[in-house]
Amino acid sequence: MNALSNFCRVINFDKRGQGLSDPVANASSLAERVKDIEAVANAAKTEKFVLMGISEGGPMSIKYAVDNPNRVAGLILFGTTARFSRADDYAIGISEQSLDGLADLWGTASARDILFPSITRDEIDDETYKGMEMLLADKRSMKQIVEYMKTFDVRDLLSQVACPTLIVHFSGDLAVPARMGRYLANGIPNSEYLEIAGVDHCDLAQAPNGIKRIKEFVRDCS
């Protein structure tokens, strides 16, 4: 976020049930999440902007970009996918067992070996990492997020994305494998796919070439 804010205004918000946002009784729908993007953009008085969807924030960003072509100047999709769960017509997806495992492991620091395997326990010990996970979402909220991840599918919207699109993915991402990012690139017209060497999930701090390309992309969209 610090690197991005060196060349643009960054508006970052905690989605429903996450971070500083209030807990919710039930998992939010895709439609509700799209309305939240609109509410944040309006509150920030941002008329036209580059929208960046990270991890499970990707599908809601795709939907918003399709529904609001006059407001989204460009779309960045980082470590994300059009659909998480495996299906008969989507063999590259993740099994429900693996998705459920993420919720079960949340708050134990075990998921770090999938999400951020390059960060050693000497750099961040397990107790500190547990605290970071619980700041992001408590276990109940994470279960809701996983249930939401099982339901959404925006594959049919990919061909309707009209704005410039940059897709960024780490080649060794264990949480959302690169094959899912390549699927996005194949489905979104005139999109650019940037695959970066690395094994972590959505951590641009170790990817200066990713930051550099995003800076160029934002500049070209302005």
* pLDDT, tens only, 60-96: 999 999 999 999 999 999 999 999 999 999 999 999 9
Query: What does the pLDDT read at residue 183?
Result: 98
Q: Which domains does the chain have, with CATH numbers?
A: 4-221 (3.40.50.1820)
- Span 133-161, average pLDDT: 93
Please check whether residue 80 is in contact with residue 54, taking contact to mean a CB–CB distance below 8 angstroms: yes
Nearest to 118 by CA among 29, 20, 199: 199
- Span 158-175, average pLDDT: 97
Please check whether residue 204 is in contact with residue 116, taking contact to mean a CB–CB distance below 8 angstroms: no
Q: Which residues contact 12 (CB under 8 A, 6 or more apart)?
A: 1
Per-residue pLDDT band at 28 (split at 50, 70, 90): confident
Count Cβ atoms below 10 Å from residue 23 Cβ, excluding itself.
12
Query: What does the pLDDT read at residue 4?
Result: 95
- Span 28-52, average pLDDT: 95
Per-residue pLDDT band at 163 (split at 50, 70, 90): very high
What's the rounded Cα separation, in Å, for the pair 109 and 130?
5
